[in-house]
């Protein structure tokens, strides 16, 4: 699971609504995966990023060199975009958990795949 995905995931447990974000990340195995740099794509994703959640996840994973916020004119700032590319797309959580901040429900991550299956009682009607 990439940190871009984590930054957009939100708990769909019944009754939780917008309070289901962000999912608290715990990781026991992380892999760095080289991904081809596409500045257009990274720049387009910047407005979608929730910075507090990103910084919290980066901190949990002990990542360094993580920008604290977009730089002015970031669309043309290759240094900034390369750092964001690395954080969002090259850090892959293989084993760990995601926890819904409102309900406490834990979703396990195995082989890089979060298990988001809910029980009947947890599903929104």
Partner 1 sequence: VALPSTSSRMIDVQTKMAGRALELLNLPEGQPCYLLDIGCGSGLSGDYLSDEGHYWVGIDISPAMLDAALDRDTEGDLLLGDMGQGIPFKPGSFDGCISISAVQWLCNANKKSDIPAKRLYRFFSSLYSVLARGARAVLQLYPENSEQLELITTQATKAGFTGGVVVDYPNSAKAKKFYLCLFSGPSTFLPKGLSENQEEEEATESMFTNKRVPHRLAQRGLVRKSREWVLEKKERYRRQGKEVRPDTQYTGRKRKPRF
The residue ranges that bind partner 1 (CB under 8 A) are 1-2, 4-5, 8-12, 20-21, 35, 38, 40-41, 44-45, 48, 50, 89, 111-118, 120, 123-125
Work out how close the CB of 91 gets to partner 1 at its nearest, in angstroms, rounded to a whole number: 12
Work out how close the CB of 48 gets to partner 1 at its nearest, in angstroms, rounded to a whole number: 7
Work out how close the CB of 57 gets to partner 1 at its nearest, in angstroms, rounded to a whole number: 14
CB of 50 or CB of 72, closer to partner 1? 50
Long-range contacts of 4-10, Cβ-Cβ distance < 8 Å, separation of 24 or more: 4/45, 4/88, 4/89, 6/53, 6/57, 6/93, 6/98, 7/48, 7/49, 7/50, 7/53, 7/54, 7/57, 7/88, 8/48, 9/98, 9/114
Tokens (6 digits) for 60: 């949990």
CB of 13 or CB of 66, closer to partner 1? 13
């Amino acid at each position: 699971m990439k940190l871009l995905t984590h930054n957009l995931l939100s708990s769909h447990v019944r009754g939780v609504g917008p309070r289901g974000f962000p999912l608290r990340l715990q990781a026991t195995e992380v892999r760095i995966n080289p991904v081809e740099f596409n500045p257009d794509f990274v720049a387009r994703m910047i407005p979608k990023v929730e910075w507090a959640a990103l910084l919290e996840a980066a901190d949990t994973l002990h990542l360094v060199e993580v920008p604290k916020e977009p730089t002015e004119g970031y669309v043309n700032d290759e240094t900034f975009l390369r750092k964001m590319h690395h954080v969002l797309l090259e850090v892959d959580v293989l084993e760990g958990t995601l926890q819904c901040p409102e309900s406490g429900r834990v979703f396990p991550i195995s082989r890089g795949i979060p298990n988001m299956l809910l029980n009947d009682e947890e599903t929104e009607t």
